[in-house]
Structure 1
Amino acid sequence: MSDLDRYLNAATRDNTRRSYRAAIEHFEVSWGGFLPATSDSVARYLVAHAGVLAVNTLKLRLSALAQWHTSQGFPDPTKAPVVRKVLKGIRALHPAQEKQAEPLQLQHLEQVVSYLAGEAELARAEDDRPRWLRAKRDGALILLGFWRGFRSDELCRLQIEHVQAVPGAGITLYLPRSKSDRENLGKTYQAPALLRLCPVQAYSEWLSASALVRGPVFRGIDRWGNLGEEGLHANSVIPLLRQALERAGIAAEQYTSHSLRRGFATWAHRSGWDLKSLMTYVGWKDMKSAMRYVEATPFLGMTLARDPLL
């Protein structure tokens, strides 16, 4: 790969690249379309999948087609009026309520963390190292994901070198890039130590248990208790979370990795955080993004409420 290709490749997030590649394959292979495409073929592609694929999925497919054509030097057929009108018609005739992850409520967070702590103690007593490590890892991942409102890919990209934890004080985490950091400037996040459900303590205990000193914070653990070299894949966070919740006796089918982010936003909202403070803490740039994550309850005021956890 040339230096030019390497920099061009770095300009697009891995998840976006994979999604675009799958979208192009769907257009060409699954549907039988031809590239470069015409506006008429793109419109017929939309019609063929209207009511089958969600509108947001169709918009992603259009973005992928647009990117392919512009990168290859062809006119973008997705900008044609007929394509825009067909998409507008699909949105009108096939309205669908946006599916959102169930927010992880504080009592369920406490339930699953308490269960994992008990599981870790039992595993250590039975000299079951793999089970002990998984319990410690999962507890730290869930608590950090909740209290920092991190996305699954952000959790999986955390590097030990970019984390500073001071037990009893707080934790500082640096991410060189994230979805909301369009300019790739990097961003530093902080979270305080808490009286209970503490992410700082959970993180410190996980590092102590795993004996990790550098590289990805959260990794796979094999059946012998060996840790992988690479970080967890973002897609593994959902089954990890659901399995932990189910073992703790919580029905988990409605939960996704976004449940941690939505759970924190809902907790902060109900605790009296004003919208601006919540947006600043989590990293949302616009109000629409923030409101998608917050449970539909009236704002409780414009000041930060005191909570027994803090």
Structure 2
Amino acid sequence: MSDLDRYLQAATRDNTRRSYRAAIAHFEVTWGGFLPATAESVARYLVAHAGVLSINTLKLRLSALAQWHSSQGFADPTKAPLVRKTLKGIRALHPAQEKQAEPLQLQHLEQAVAWLDQEISEARAQQKRPQLLKACRDRALILLGFWRGFRSDELCRLEIEHVQARAGKGITVYLPRSKGDRENLGKTYQAPALLKLCPVQAYIEWITEAALVRGPVFRGVDRWGHLSEEGLHANSVIPLLRQALKRAGIEAEHYTTHSLRRGFATWANQSGWDLKSLMSYVGWKDMKSAMRYVEASPFEGMVRITDKPPSL
């Protein structure tokens, strides 16, 4: 791979690249379309999947087709008025409410962490290192993901060299790149230490127990208690979260990693945060993105743990 190709590849996120490849394969192989495509064939493709695929999925397929034509030096058929009007008609005739991940309620966060605390105590007493490491890792990942509103890929890309945690004070995390950082300028995130459900203490206990000094923060643990050199894959975070919740007796099938982000946003909203502070803390650029994550109904039995972080 040439240096030019390497830089061009780095300009697109891995998840986006995989999604685009799958979209092109669906158009060309599954549906039987031809590339380069015409506006008429793209419109027929949309019609064939109207009401079957969501609007967002169709838009992703169009983006993949647009990127393929642009990279190959062909005119982009997705910009044609016929394609745009077809998509507009599909949206009008097949309205669908966007599915949202269930927000993780604070009472369920408390329940899950209490169970993980118990697992840690039992594993330490019984000298079961694999179970001890997994429970410590899961507790740190869930608490940091909730209180910082991180996405699964952001959690998986955390590097110990980019984290500064001080017990009783707070934690500072630097991410060189993220979904909202289109220019790849990097961003620093902070979270305070809490009296309960503390992400700072959970992080410190995890890296101390695992004896980690560099590299990925969250890693796989095999059945012998050996740590992987690689970070967790983003796709493994949802089953990890669901398994931890299920062990704590929580119905977990409707939870995803976005549940941590939505859970925090909803808690902050119900705790009196103004939208501007919430957007700044989580990293949303526009109000529409923020409102998608805020649950309108209040948490039942919610226990207030802390006020807004001092930085806000």
| TM-score normalised according to structure 1 size | 0.96
Structure 2 alignment gaps of length 5 or more: 308-312
Q: CA deviation at 1:309?
A: 3.2
Match of 2:133 in 1: 133
**Are residues 1:219 and 2:219 paired?**
yes
State the partner residue of 2:240.
240
CA deviation profile, 1:102-138 (whole Å, cap 9, x unmatched): 0001100000001001011111111111111000000
CA RMSD, 1 decimal: 1.1
Q: Partners in 2 of 1:187 and 1:237 — Cα distance?
A: 22
TM-aligned CA deviation for residue 296 of structure 1: 1.8
User: C-alpha distance in 2, partners of 1:44/1:112?
Assistant: 48
Aligned to 1:178: 178
Report the equivalent of 2:147: 147
SS in 2 for 1:249: coil
**Cα deviation per residue 1:51-84 (whole Å; 9 max; x = unaligned)?**
1111100000000000000111000000111111
Letter in 1 for 2:212: L
- AA aligned to 1:37 is A
Deviations 1:3-44 (A, max 9, x none): 100110110011100100110011111111110000011011
Q: Aligned partners of 2:285, 2:68: CA distance in 1, in Å?
A: 28
- Matched residue pairs, number? 303
Name the residue aligned to 2:296.
296
Post-superposition offset of 1:87? 0.7
Report the CA distance between 1:236 and its aligned residue. 0.6
Alpha-carbon shift at residue 308 of structure 1 (Å): 3.6
Tell me the equivalent position of 1:309.
306
Aligned to 1:76: 76
Cα shift at 1:277: 0.2
Deviations 1:248-268 (A, max 9, x none): 000001100000000000000
**Matched residue type, 1:147:** W
Q: Which residue of 1 aligns with 2:310?
A: none
Give the Cα–Cα distance (whole angstroms) in 2 for the partners of residues 4 and 113 of structure 1: 47
Deviating 4+ runs (over 2 angstroms): 306-310
Q: Which runs of 5+ in 1 are unaligned?
A: 299-305
| SS of 2:295 mapped into structure 1 | coil
Shift of 1:297: 4.7
Matched-pair identity in %: 82
CA distance in 1, matches of 2:84, 2:297: 35
Cα distance in structure 2, aligned partners of 1:308 and 1:32: 56
Q: Give the letter for the 2:306 counterpart.
A: L
2: CA distance, partners of 1:113 / 1:308: 14
SS in 2 for 1:173: strand
Does residue 207 of structure 2 align to residue 210 of structure 1?
no
Task: Please list the CA deviations of residues 243-290 of structure 1 after superposition, one character each: whole Å capped at 9, or x if unmatched.
Answer: 000000000011000000000000000000000000000000000000
